[in-house]
Amino acid sequence: MTTIPHHWSMAEAVTILSAYSTLWYCLIKRANIKRGESILIHSAAEAVGQSAINMCLHYGCDIYVTVGTEEKKDFLTKEYNIPVNRIFNSRDTLFKNHIMDVTNGKGVDIVINSLSGDKLGASIDCLAKNGRIIDVEKYDRLGKRNANYVVKHNMQLIMAHSNEDFEFLNEFYDWMHKNCTNGCVKPINYTVFNASEAEKAFRFMTTVSELSLFNPRVQLSPITGRSCLWAQSANAEKLAVNVGII
């Protein structure tokens, strides 16, 4: 556990842990990101993508991103000032050609990947020699062809779901507090729902067509408690377990 920085609300703080701890572990601990490196961030309008943009801007990285809709493209240009010529389509493999063109055939140093199939293969093809690919999904889909390519070109595959993650939480919290005022760690967009709107909140989280998809955290306001009478009768030599919600 840790304290919340004084300039964050509770709602802002809950947008931090999942996305930023994942990226801290992968980018800082494993990929050893260096200032000025080039990076391709897939699905950049989502929670991990937005957090990655904040971190990579702080490190002065050369940033390229992919999104799935024009709406998300507009969001990234307005919210993060990403130039339109650095935003590619995540629904096909043409981003590979664009990346290789703008890097003069070198490729990027790091890919933050959330794609599969041919798009995963294209992402690996975008990597420079000694590059690192970070996979933020929770299943193995690399495949023999891609695995051989990674090994042959001395690349590094980093899985975001390591069993070691929780061992580093205190170290992550220290890093978070040191970087919560310099732009590296910033709360990402969120929407707050009242507890009475639980059904609306769950429906909101599964709606992929709205701009509000970019708000990745839902906070339910606390339900006002009611006082109640408590009566108990028990045998001191027996164990009684009451299960239920009042």
CB-based contacts of 161-170 (< 8 A; 24+ apart in sequence): 162/25, 164/25, 165/21, 165/22, 165/25, 168/25, 168/29, 169/21, 170/2
CA distance 144 to 181: 43
Map out the domains of the chain with their CATH numbers. Answer: 10-178 (3.40.50.720), 190-220 (no CATH)
Q: What is the pLDDT of residues 56-86, one digit of tens each?
A: 999 999 999 999 999 999 999 999 999 999 9
Extract the tokens encoding 174. Answer: 């220290």
DSSP string spanning 56-67? Answer: HHHTT-EEEEEE
pLDDT at 217: 45
Check: CB of residue 166 under 8 Å from CB of residue 22: no
CA distance 72 to 53: 14
Q: What is the pLDDT of residues 101-115, one digit of tens each?
A: 999 999 999 999 989
| pTM attached to this predicted model | 0.78
